Chains A and B, each alone.
Chain A
């Protein structure tokens, strides 16, 4: 692993100037390294962070990655990691023109990392430095604790996908005063309405009094306290509850596990903390894949097409670009989809289509010809890269115009009884269906939290907020064994499972006599869900219906 040479660095610096001219914003300092494909294989299990802590699962991935490389050699163009300064890795065999294109791509990634608000929690951390000190701590603990260190990492990683990333992000986005429930809000929203259940009339009177006090600068709460002496105490208690219920499972275990409180287990807390911090760091990346790749592809195309260094390499570029950004006949390509959506948004905004006038238009021709010459698309997409994540991006901007323009559809797959074949067919060309299909592929871990009111007598009670998706049953046991270990006592998990309505396999074609048509077309019954309780005690899993 070595830095790129001066010539290549010169190309990069040139690219930076042009990218900035078009509105991209990023730190001036970046580091570019040449790596071999072997380096890449060894880095990828560590999410490309060279200084990430060692763990045997990474080793398994490296060994199998090498096997995979032997069978299917590949040559990745680039990888960027979200650090300050941003670090990117390249192969050393790229011609200059290709480097120009790749650097534009990389710079757009860096721009995305450093401007998208979902990354705010990563902006002030020196990741490589942090990771290095974590790595050293883990190595030290491993030399003392042996394989129990690895078990601790394993069990912590078992719950590192349900970390409170959004809460953490909130802390960075909101100022201190906004984070806490303030006294006024508590008084009007909770105290009066929920605790005291006052009448409308009285409620409105209090509001009027509050507004008057604003003008007279009198202390509004002095009267409140004299009227309700318990107010301050209730407010304090509410803050405490609010604060506590915000903890994710990992934090809750770190703070409250009786097992970790024992002196000889104290060290595990720092291990869990490291795993949690690492996970939180990568949360934004998982949730902005389509946008991030789309953004980078949009800009490498936009900038390189306007760069004189493309001269003579137009065909080469077309080939490379098509390889990265073509839409597959069946399947999804986040680069291609994200890029087209950004192009679509820019075009729509340039024509002023995000407006009521356009919305009111009913005829296709009129829509096509609609143009207010706003030409604000460029700034508009910069705003979008700042404020959206994959879900909001897809949910807000995939419209029928986009789906129709690019001939997109939802491809279905079905068993054809008569022809004994699997057919691929166009299931829907409606934007709503297409949007739903994409949204279903987005990262969405289950929402599982500690139910504090039921966590007692040494039992950790976890509650899965059900969103019509059951948990993967095979994984429950081992995950809960890990939680039980870290908690040091029984763990309960409440979740939902389908009450099997007896969907039999015979719904398929009759294998022995394919010609026989199934006469009765069974109507699919709506799924009924039942609440289940999984109980993990002494490394044994039981379950019962609630």
Chain B
């Protein structure tokens, strides 16, 4: 059976032959109980043919595709409904979100898969490698290796070094009269001649990243918007995990009108709430955490925020203050605005105030924004990542 790597290798060859690449990376989330899931990375591809478009042009505005149904009722009766965005201000119940968010599995599984995904993204989708991982912030950690040598006792005999010493000793003792005809049986071996390798502690310097993922989980974020944000965040996380050779720590923050930290990715992915939106609360919480735990000294800090662009703080006064503060210590802030398709060409609030404040150009090396549509496909999401991390 062919492997994913071989498939991707083949796919790369297409470009040499002048054809577009066809394999894309898809994800399946394995659901389970307890809010933990596992992400499975699979390749996907589309076989293009001439086919009829599914769009229904006669559709009335606001109508969806019709389908079959069975049951009691008269024409016009509503048989069920699905909230798009519950009433503002209404106290929302926190609950598991729809979609493939809930699931069980260990964190390790996610991590190993994410590392693989990061590798694929970096190698096959040409996401750039980090040039400067931040030298000043390094982590000292120790690894153990058999590099030191010791005479007399130790764990592993270094045969070559030992033989050298024995020969040396015997030359000194005049035990080798004729170098052309050595009699090994006459060698005198001192215990001190035995050279061993011993286990030793080595200091290893590596840079380390801390990533804050911030997500708007207010009522308006229902459906595809959340999926797109989370997709992008999964890929960002995977990419960083690969770049930092797994030396990545993550913190997850959700916000509506208040921000709160959640412990793991699954909660981050799956929670939804029926609240309003105050973006600044999330940025403020990050600033507080960084200050309280004195994280800025040891880590390269990345902050990624996903939102649909809706904010009660319409001019972003509070948000901009928090962002300015954050810019003093972060390596990168990336803000993804995923627009609902009904927004049209209108700019969202967050987009508007970020642009008018000039903060994007002033700190263009630290602060990036990506505006995409909720229907964005994987390649668009990956392209967005490129702009967020460039």
Contact = CB atoms under 8 A, between A and B. Distances in A.
A508 B342 contact: yes
A53 to B, nearest CB: 14
Which 5 A-B pairs give the minimum distances between C-beta atoms? Answer: A413-B64, A507-B61, A411-B69, A508-B342, A64-B42
* Interface range on chain A (Cβ under 8 Å from partner): 35 or more
A117 B49 CA distance: 27
A360 interface: no
A408 B68 contact: yes
Contacts of B18: 539
B293 interface: no
A77 interface: no
Interface string B1-35: 11010010010010001111001001011110000
Contact of B42 (A68, A160, A327): A68
B294 interface: no
29 contacts: A63-B42, A66-B42, A161-B50, A328-B69, A329-B79, A330-B80, A331-B67, A407-B72, A408-B68, A414-B63, A419-B81, A420-B85, A421-B82, A424-B80, A424-B82, A425-B79, A429-B74, A434-B68, A444-B52, A446-B51, A470-B53, A471-B53, A472-B50, A472-B53, A474-B48, A508-B61, A508-B62, A509-B62, A511-B342
A59 B5 CA distance: 12
A7 B20 CA distance: 54
A60 B44 contact: yes
Contacts of A420: 83-87
Contact of A426 (B1, B7, B51, B77): B77
A70 B30 contact: yes
A506 B342 CA distance: 7
A481 B87 CA distance: 50
A474 B48 CA distance: 8
Interface of A: 56-57, 59-60, 62-64, 66-68, 70-72, 147, 150-151, 154, 157-162, 327-332, 337, 406-417, 419-429, 434, 437-438, 444-446, 448, 464, 469-479, 481, 498, 503-509, 511, 514, 522, 524, 527, 539
Nearest to B29: A71
Interface in B316-367: 340-345
Given A421-B81, A507-B62, A481 B40 contact: no
B270 to A, nearest CB: 15
Judged by DSSP, the binding face of A is mixed
A469 B52 CA distance: 6
B69 A479 contact: no
A56 B10 contact: yes
A68 B344 contact: no
B157 interface: no
A526 B65 CA distance: 19
A445 B51 CA distance: 6
Interface in B131-145: none
Given A475-B51, A478-B20, A63 B43 contact: yes
A422 B84 contact: yes
A420 B89 CA distance: 14
Contacts of B51: 161, 445-446, 471-472, 475
B174 interface: no
B93 interface: no
Which of A414, A429, A464 has the most chain B CB atoms inside 10 A of its CB? A414
Interface of B: 1-2, 4, 7, 10, 13, 17-20, 23, 26, 28-31, 38, 40-55, 57-58, 60-87, 220, 310, 340-345
Nearest to A524: B60
Which of A158, A411, A419, A428 has the most chain B CB atoms inside 10 A of its CB? A411
B83 A71 contact: no
A479 B50 CA distance: 7
Contact of A411 (B23, B67, B85, B220): B67
A412 to B, nearest CB: 5
A367 B386 CA distance: 68
A386 B127 CA distance: 57
A511 B64 CA distance: 18
Contacts of B53: 469-473
B17 A151 contact: yes
A503 B62 CA distance: 12
A59 B57 CA distance: 36
Contacts of B85: 420, 514
Nearest to A510: B342
Contact of A410 (B40, B68, B341, B344): B68
Contact of A527 (B41, B58, B78): B58
A505 B343 contact: yes
A332 B69 CA distance: 7
Contacts of B66: 410-413, 427, 437
Given A408-B70, A412-B64, A423 B80 contact: yes
Given A427-B75, A469-B53, A332 B67 contact: yes
A429 B2 contact: no
A64 B29 CA distance: 12
Given A56-B2, A329-B69, A331-B67, A67 B7 contact: no
B361 to A, nearest CB: 26
A410 B69 CA distance: 6
B63 A413 contact: yes
A436 to B, nearest CB: 10
B83 A59 contact: no
Contacts of B48: 158, 474-475, 477-479
A330 B64 CA distance: 13
Contact of A60 (B45, B55, B67): B45
A416 B30 contact: no
Contacts of A413: 63-67
A425 B72 CA distance: 12
